[in-house]
Amino acid sequence: MTDMLARGRWLLNRSRTLALLAELAAAPSGDDRSLYLPAGLAPARAGEALRAIFPEDDMPEGLAAAVTAAPSGAAFFGNRERCWLVAPYLPVREDFFSRGRDTRPLRELLLREWRLALVLVRLGAYAIGVYRGEQMLSSKTGTGLVHGRHKKGGSSAPRFRRHREKQIETFLSRVCQHIREQLEPEAATLDYLVDGGARTTLLLLEKKCPLLERFASRRLPPLLDIPAPRRATLEAAFGRVWSSQVTEWRREKHD
């Protein structure tokens, strides 16, 4: 008989993550341990914490890398035979180790009625939403004319480029105005800002819209793989903010 580690990985929404945490907390914990690791933890610190559970040569493949790669931190529950790593999009602030399956801090994180703002922008479309918990307080979506890049050379190319740059400036100025309308009334009470869209467009918007600098310490990792912002895009992005990446390792025996 030889041992191997099988791994499953899922993206769970808020309710399914809470259901998993309830299941983990209710099951007999035996020699399980809980480990909370915030974002930005040095790999050496993460490795040290994990070695309190696993000898270095017995650690599940990919576990240490998954911990250090989690952009908002992660929580570990389990033992050498079976374990789970839960990496929420919302940030884990704790850094502690305990016996048993202590899911309380993660449940509290997901149950809190956070005040969130989403700003999604791609050239030609935008969507802005402000939420308390899962309730939308306000939103604004819209479009703007921005021509695609000029694919041919010739004497008209510089003129087309200047025209397109003007369109982009006008579009981003209008988006910034809507951001101010939506976010300024809530700015003092917002817990986090999430932006999304094309990285280059977000950088241009940040230069155009000084209000965004007020949220520098409250910004979560951007959502860079979203489609053109629409109301449905905003709703899908909001669902991702409450989701968690869950990875399970289980030791199995084979002949």
CATH of the domain at 49: 3.30.960.10
Q: Are 86 and 244 in contact (CB under 8 A)?
A: yes
pLDDT bin (cut points 50, 70, 90) of residue 150 is: low
Q: How far is CA 165 from the centre of its chain?
A: 31
C-alpha 40/C-alpha 27 separation (Å) is 31
Question: What does DSSP assign to residue 57?
Answer: G
Whether 149 shows a pLDDT value over 60: the answer reads: yes
Range of the domain at 139: 115-241
Per-residue buried b or exposed e for 71-106, using 16+ beta carbons within 10 Å of the residue's own CB: ebbbbbbbebeebbbbbbbbbbeeeeeeeebbbebb
Question: What does DSSP assign to residue 148?
Answer: P
Pairing of strands 192-197, 115-122: parallel
Q: Minimum mean pLDDT among 170-174, 196-200, 250-254: which range?
A: 250-254
pLDDT tens, 70-106? Answer: 999 999 999 988 999 999 999 999 888 899 999 999 9
Q: Are 143 and 101 in contact (CB under 8 A)?
A: no
Q: What is the model's pLDDT at position 212? A: 94
User: Do 105 and 135 fall within a single domain?
Assistant: no
Residues 6+ apart with CB under 8 A from 179: 119, 128, 209, 211, 212
Q: How many domains does the chain have?
A: 2
Domain of 126: which CATH number? 3.30.420.60
Residue at a domain's end among 111, 128, 158: 111
* Residue % of the chain over a pLDDT of 90: 65
pTM value is: 0.88
The secondary structure element, H or E, covering residue 231 is: helix 231-241
Q: How far is CA 37 from the centre of its chain?
A: 16
Query: Average pLDDT in the 10-16 region?
Result: 96
User: Do 124 and 237 fall within a single domain?
Assistant: yes
Q: What is the model's pLDDT at position 48? A: 83
Residue 141 lies in a domain: yes
Angle between helices 156-183 and 199-208 (to 10 degrees): 70
User: Do 94 and 23 fall within a single domain?
Assistant: yes
Residue 249 lies in a domain: no
Residue 254 lies in a domain: no
Q: What is the model's pLDDT at position 129? A: 97
User: Do 20 and 102 fall within a single domain?
Assistant: yes
Strand order in the sheet with 96-99: 2-12, 244-254, 82-88, 74-78, 33-37, 96-99
C-alpha 127/C-alpha 232 separation (Å) is 9
C-alpha 150/C-alpha 89 separation (Å) is 38
Q: How far is CA 133 from the centre of its chain?
A: 16
Q: Nearest Cα to 28, choosing from 70, 89, 79, 92?
A: 79
Residue 248 lies in a domain: no
The residues facing 90 across adjacent strands are: none
Residue 62 lies in a domain: yes
Q: What is the model's pLDDT at position 148? A: 65
Q: Output phi, psi for 12, to 5 deg.
A: -105, 140
